[in-house]
Amino acid sequence: MGFWEQLNAFHLDVLREIGNIGAGNAATALAAMLNQRINMSVPRAGVLPLKEIPNLIGQEEDPVACVEFGVTGRAPGKIMFLLTQESAFFLIDFLLGQPLGTTRRLDDMGISVLTEVGNILSGSFLTAFAEFCKLEFIPSVPAFAFDMLGAVLSSAFLEGGYFADQALVVETQFYSPETQISGYFFLIPEENALGVIMESLGMKI
């Protein structure tokens, strides 16, 4: 029996809870940054074939911005933060204090803004995750891409050295009830991380 097949509903519940705590903390950081309310969906967790992961978000050719971090420590993995093009441009205008609608294409300044937002939000996610599990996580420097959803997501895995056919994905959507901000947090624990996470919470896989 493959490793992923040992995952049961209970494990997925635990992962959803980690998604909830991590994304909750990140959403709070985003809300503080924007001074507005940020809502969050109930996290989804599951093992998915790589090619189905874009379907969680939209169509393969939809333009998205993605900030990605490799996470090392006893429970290694990957954390990603994705924004629709509309949200990305909104965030840039908002944080640079420009009239909304100023950003029409991404430049170096825009990339810096989004990478920094990604940095702060991923940091918040990992801090909450680390406190909950009593584990230490060390994020890599961020990697950034803005392009078609399909190209961005597949490359986030392949360029990051993740070559398996499927991945364990914990996904949470966040959105603002007032503006067009909408995005996603992804936590992708590596195979060997799951046992460490469960053990740290006093459970066995």
Q: Where along the sequence are the contacts to other proteins (CB under 8 A)?
A: 50-51, 54, 59-61, 63, 66, 68, 70, 105, 111, 140-145, 147-152, 154-156, 158-161, 163, 165
Pick 66 or 187: Cβ nearer other proteins: 66
Q: Kindly give, in sequence order, each residue whose CB lies less than 8 Å from that of residue 56, ignoring residues fewer than 6 positions away.
A: 44, 48, 169, 171, 184
Give the nearer residue to other proteins in terms of CB position, either 159 or 178: 159
- DSSP H/E element including 49: strand 44-49
State the nearest-atom distance from the C-beta of 93 to other proteins, in Å.
19
Closer CB to other proteins, 21 or 76, in the complex: 76
DSSP H/E element including 29: helix 9-34
CB of 82 to other proteins, least distance (A): 13
For other proteins, the closer of residues 1 and 141 by Cβ is 141
**Would you say the C-alpha torsion 193, 196, 202, 205 has a positive or negative sign?**
positive
Q: Minimum CB separation from other proteins for residue 16, in Å? A: 26
Closest approach of Cβ 13 to other proteins, in Å? 28
Bridge partners for 49 per DSSP? 166
- Conformational region of residue 70, where left means phi above 0, alpha means psi within -120 to 50, and beta covers everything else: beta
Q: What is the Cα–Cα distance from 37 to 39, expressed in whole angstroms? A: 7
